[in-house]
């Protein structure tokens, strides 16, 4: 069984973004970029399924600018067998990404797609669900445990009130939550090996996908800052402030 893992190149999660003064967006020049953390979890899960003998091939796919090839190399250093870059300089929104991924699925025929639950830049939390819809497959989002047997996936999901377990028929789309696993670090020998693994480059036109924008960003601003508070000296003063100044208790 083949697994497809979409991986997105995003800014590093430790970087605090700066909003451009002219409101045109955030400043991504010279900031550290890397693989979306949820996608690292997705690649790790695919590797564990491969190591357990459930999966035979792991294919990483990234949609975006040429530099997205870096995150494909990272995925291959973790263990993915090969990479596919759908190269585009366009602002790829979730529906466009889902359509590109569907076209890749049509060519590759995976039995399972493991996406991240959200990308930490745009925080849309849409792509996996959209892909499942376009493919007509079942979906198991926000997964914290995945077991695969007999053509079905049993997935424990993180929901608002706690946990929910679903049995979904394969093929299916699963999206990862934080506690699914702890991704391994790529070792130096594996990073070297990854450089030799196959990486194909496709483009939206070749896949017959229109990636035009449906959402037009009019402006991007910084949210209102909280004014700095004060340090209180002890519990008594804290309680006094909460009662008499803030009036919250």
Ligand X SMILES: Cc1cc2nc3c(=O)[nH]c(=O)nc-3n(C[C@H](O)[C@H](O)[C@H](O)COP(=O)(O)OP(=O)(O)OC[C@H]3O[C@@H](n4cnc5c(N)ncnc54)[C@H](O)[C@@H]3O)c2cc1C
Binding site residues, ligand X, CB under 6 A: 6-8, 13, 25, 36-39, 61-65, 91-94, 97, 115-116, 118-128, 215, 217
Q: How many CB atoms are located within 10 Å of the residue 189 CB?
A: 9
**What's the rounded Cα separation, in Å, for the pair 169 and 166?**
10
Q: Taking CB within 5 to 8 Å according to partner kind, which of ligand X, another protein, none is near residue 19?
A: another protein
Cα of 35 vs its chain's centroid, Å: 8
91, interface contact from ligand X, another protein, none, CB < 5-8 Å by kind: ligand X
Tell the smallest beta-carbon distance from residue 157 to ligand X (Å): 16
8 Å CB contact between 38 and 118: yes
Contacts of 106 (CB under 8 A, 6+ apart): none
Residue closer to another protein (CB basis): 29 or 248: 248
Rounded least distance, CB 228 to ligand X, Å: 18
Least distance in Å: CB of 194 to another protein?
27
Which of 107, 179 has the CB closer to another protein? 179
Say which entry of another protein, ligand X, none residue 97 contacts (CB below 5 to 8 A, set by partner kind). Answer: ligand X
CA distances (Å), 232 to each of 57, 236, 246, in order? 58, 9, 13
Query: What is the nearest approach in angstroms of another protein to the Cβ of residue 195?
Result: 31
Closest CA to 207 of 113, 130, 127, 107: 107
Residue 53 interacting entry, from ligand X, another protein, none, C-beta within 5 to 8 Å by type: none
C-beta of 29 vs 231, nearer to another protein = 231
Q: What's the token pair of residue 118?
A: 């959200």
Give the residue with the Cβ less far from another protein, 22 or 123: 123
Closest to 3 (Cα-Cα) out of 157, 185, 117, 174: 174
DSSP category for residue 25: -
241 binds, among ligand X, another protein, none (CB under 5 to 8 A by kind): another protein
Q: How far apart are the first and last CA of the chain?
A: 58
Q: State the minimum distance, in angstroms, from the CB of residue 36 to another protein.
A: 11
2 binds, among another protein, ligand X, none (CB under 5 to 8 A by kind): none
């Amino acid at each position: 069984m083949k697994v497809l893992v979409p991986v997105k190149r995003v800014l590093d999660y430790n970087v605090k973004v700066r909003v451009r003064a002219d409101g045109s967006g955030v400043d991504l020049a010279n900031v550290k970029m890397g693989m979306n953390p949820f996608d690292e979890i997705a690649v790790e899960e695919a590797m564990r399924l491969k190591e357990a003998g459930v999966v035979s091939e792991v294919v990483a796919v990234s949609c975006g600018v040429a530099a997205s090839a870096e995150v494909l190399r990272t995925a291959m250093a973790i263990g993915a067998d090969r990479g596919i870059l759908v190269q585009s300089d366009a602002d790829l929104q979730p529906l466009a990404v889902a359509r590109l991924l569907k076209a890749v699925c049509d060519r590759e025929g995976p039995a399972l797609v493991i996406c991240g639950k959200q990308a930490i830049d745009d925080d849309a939390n849409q792509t996996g669900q959209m892909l499942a819809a376009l493919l007509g497959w079942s979906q198991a989002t926000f997964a914290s445990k995945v077991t695969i047997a007999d053509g079905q996936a049993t997935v424990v999901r993180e929901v608002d009130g706690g946990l929910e377990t679903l049995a979904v028929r394969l093929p299916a789309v699963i999206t990862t939550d934080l506690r699914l696993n702890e991704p391994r670090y790529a070792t130096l020998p594996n990073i070297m090996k990854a450089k030799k693994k196959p990486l194909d480059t496709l483009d939206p036109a070749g896949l017959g996908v229109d990636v035009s924008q449906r959402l037009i960003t009019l402006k991007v601003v910084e949210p209102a800052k909280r004014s700095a508070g004060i340090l209180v000296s002890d519990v008594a003063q804290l309680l006094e402030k909460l009662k008499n100044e803030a009036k919250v208790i």
